[in-house]
Chains A and B, each alone.
Chain A
Amino acid sequence: MSSTVYIPISDQGFCALGMRVLKKRPLLVFGLIILILMCLMAVFAPYIAPHDPYEQSLENRFLPPSTEYPLGTDQFGRCVLSRAIYGSQPSLIIAVVSTILVVIIGLLVGLCAGYYRRVDGLLMRITDIMLAFPSMVVTLALVGIMGPGVPSIILALALPGWAKYARVVRSSTMSIKNRGFVESARALGAKNRYILFRHILPNVLAPVMEIATLGLGSKIIMIAGLGFLGLGIQVPTPEWGNILNQGLPLLYKAPLIALSAGALIMAFVLATNLIGSEIRDLMDPMSDSVKI
């Protein structure tokens, strides 16, 4: 969101870092716990969910919450809680895969642009053009062309997303490549590729981790947005976005359908926001930029 100069944490042991985190960063631990719980929920959905999310029964339509159906049932008599739990699966898988893709593209473009002067201009102009559109516009256009489906959603999220990472990686690369340890590696006869991947890459990972955790949250929102517009995961497969969409006309009768999915999205994004902003603080304790 803001352009901060990142200081790499290469000279800090990760174990020592871990201990300090636990003591001083309760918000980070809180965020991590929510995130881990969410992931466990997605993986073990068949064991946690009280019912089959697809099981319909006409006599059980619009039941109020009970011990059998903790959040009641929807217009087809399906268990609302089970659908919300299963709904985490497509969202999380798509968000994680597309974030990994985005990180890889962004890293490659950023490293090349920052390290090789010759391609810098061209790559950064392409990046500028990617940043000239709101990413949701590009995603929607791509999904519109390719049609809804898991691969096309992943691609539609990844294509506009990498530009931000490329920018950050490029500026970190440029500041690191003139440092002493890179110079000495070069003096020892190290090849460019070796320097890039063994010396520079580990040092740009920290800022990338920060935007990747924040990006994970915004991807969850975008996936849900697509589902909400009817362009994401298609019904009857439960997904938070399409549950919200289905719950919208039923707000009068069964508000818990929309509320359950919305609350889970919020919890996930809250976790990634907390983790992301805490990582930023850890990397650069002096920065007082837009802290949440």
Chain B
Amino acid sequence: MKRFILLRLFQTIPVLISITFIAFLLMMVTPGDPAEINLRAMMNTESPPKEAIEQMRMEMDLDKPWYIQYYSWLSRVLHGDLGYSYQTRKSTVEEILRAFPVTFLLSSIAMLFSIIIAIPIGILAGIHPNGKLDHLSRGISIIGLSIPDFFLGILGILIFSITLKILPVAGYKGPEYLILPAFALSISLFAVTMRLMRTSMAEVLEQEYIRTAISKGLDRGTIIRRHALKNAIVPVLTYMGTQYGWLFGGAMIIESLFALPGMGRLFVDAAASRDIMVMQACIMVFAIIFIIINLCIDISYYLLDPRMRDTHE
């Protein structure tokens, strides 16, 4: 167990290194002097003196060859120094810490929507394949996969905010401001989860051990709850796990649409104004979340499926 986790952690090191390298490259190819940006923020002036910039460039090793630049940049990053935002002159870490909880909450609520609505519908559709609910859910998922999340968001604003006036339009002043964006964000996950649950349930119900349970005379409810559901839900939950990273990184347009101050909006604003160090930090955060999620999924596979253990020990 320990050995497997250590091995898996070890495997993430090259990926982490290449991600930091890509983030570093981004800074190299983007016009703009990091030393000047940092000084502008630290001295709080629009144009810091030339000598100070030269001094700063020396301190940041910006006059050295690229591999030394990379090394000194990486050591700054590891010490928690991600530079400053060009636009707001705040430290990048501060910006990330402010934005992270919003996106975390948004993507978690989106995930929750899928769990509490899509999974039950999927189960019912799987119990009665080709029934009315099955056809309905198939139709919903075809439309759900075809509608861009931001257009669903616009439709939501039009229906719930403008016509019915029951939800706020945009901004972030309380939890009710997250309902529409989270719903819009979850739509494609919702659609796939529903179909996956349906297929998985229908497949499990065809298996021998279910037939055994039926012939033993157990009632249908018990079979579905105690025997079928346990096995059917595993692939659905692991799929949803892998999609969490996509929700987190995919919230950019939704956050901009609903004016939520999250990671996605921070990243979009940074990309639009070439705010290098904020872009760098966002990319690294997105990638690290991806890596952590994949790590968790691998470990949970290991814990759930005994067959995995044999191949690793």
Roughly how many angstroms separate A229 CA and B252 CA in the complex, as a whole number? 9
Q: Tell me how far the C-beta of A107 lies from the nearest C-beta in chain B, rounded to whole angstroms.
A: 24
A255, CB-defined interface residue at 8 Å: yes
Roughly how many angstroms separate A145 CA and B245 CA in the complex, as a whole number? 24
Q: Which of B145, B151, B155, B267 contacts A137 (CB 8 A)?
A: B267
A132, CB-defined interface residue at 8 Å: yes
Q: Which residues of chain B are near A133, meaning CB under 8 Å?
A: 249, 283, 286-287, 290
B110, CB-defined interface residue at 8 Å: no
Q: Which residues of chain A are near B283, meaning CB under 8 Å?
A: 133, 137, 141
A132 and B19 contact, Cβ closer than 8 Å, known pairs A225-B253, A251-B157, A273-B142: yes
A140 and B287 contact, Cβ closer than 8 Å, known pairs A1-B192, A291-B195, A291-B199: no
Docked complex: A225-272 residues within 8 A CB-CB of B: 225, 228-231, 244, 247-248, 251-252, 255, 258-259, 262, 265-266, 269-270
Cβ contact within 8 Å between A145 and B29: yes
How many residue pairs at the A-B interface have CB separations less than 8 Å?
A: 128
Cβ contact within 8 Å between B146 and A289: no
Q: Tell me how far the C-beta of B87 lies from the nearest C-beta in chain A, rounded to whole angstroms.
A: 13
Q: Which residues of chain A are near B256, meaning CB under 8 Å?
A: 228-229
Q: Which residues of chain B are near A141, meaning CB under 8 Å?
A: 26, 271, 279, 283
Q: Which residues of chain A are near B291, meaning CB under 8 Å?
A: 132
A68, CB-defined interface residue at 8 Å: no
Docked complex: B268-283 residues within 8 A CB-CB of A: 268, 270-272, 274, 279, 282-283
Q: Which residues of chain A are near B81, meaning CB under 8 Å?
A: none
Q: Which residues of chain A are near B249, meaning CB under 8 Å?
A: 133-134, 136-137
Question: Please, how many residues of chain A have a CB less than 8 angstroms from a CB on the other chain?
Answer: 42
**What range describes how many residues of B lie at the interface?**
35 or more
The 0/1 profile, CB within 8 Å of A marked 1, for residues 191-235 of chain B is 110011001001100000000000000000000000000000000
A231 and B196 contact, Cβ closer than 8 Å, known pairs A132-B15, A224-B148: no
A166, CB-defined interface residue at 8 Å: no
Roughly how many angstroms separate A225 CA and B148 CA in the complex, as a whole number? 8
Cβ contact within 8 Å between B26 and A145: yes
Cβ contact within 8 Å between B195 and A145: no
Q: Which residues of chain A are near B146, meaning CB under 8 Å?
A: 217, 266, 269-270, 273
A143, CB-defined interface residue at 8 Å: yes
Cβ contact within 8 Å between B271 and A251: no
Q: Which residues of chain B are near A247, meaning CB under 8 Å?
A: 154
B138, CB-defined interface residue at 8 Å: yes
The 0/1 profile, CB within 8 Å of B marked 1, for residues 144-162 of chain A is 1100000000000000000
Cβ contact within 8 Å between B257 and A144: no
Cβ contact within 8 Å between B150 and A228: yes
> Can you name the residue of chain B whose Cβ is closest to the Cβ of A129?
B18
A265 and B151 contact, Cβ closer than 8 Å, known pairs A132-B19, A217-B146: yes
Complex A-B, nearest 7 residue pairs according to Cβ-Cβ distance, in ascending order? A144-B271, A134-B249, A270-B146, A262-B151, A269-B146, A221-B148, A140-B271
What are 18 A-B pairs with beta-carbon distances under 8 A?
Answer: A129-B19, A132-B19, A132-B287, A132-B290, A134-B246, A136-B249, A137-B249, A137-B267, A140-B267, A141-B271, A144-B272, A145-B26, A221-B148, A247-B154, A251-B158, A266-B143, A288-B202, A290-B196
A-B contacts besides A1-B192, A141-B271, A224-B148, 5 pairs, CB < 8 Å: A137-B249, A140-B267, A141-B279, A229-B256, A244-B151
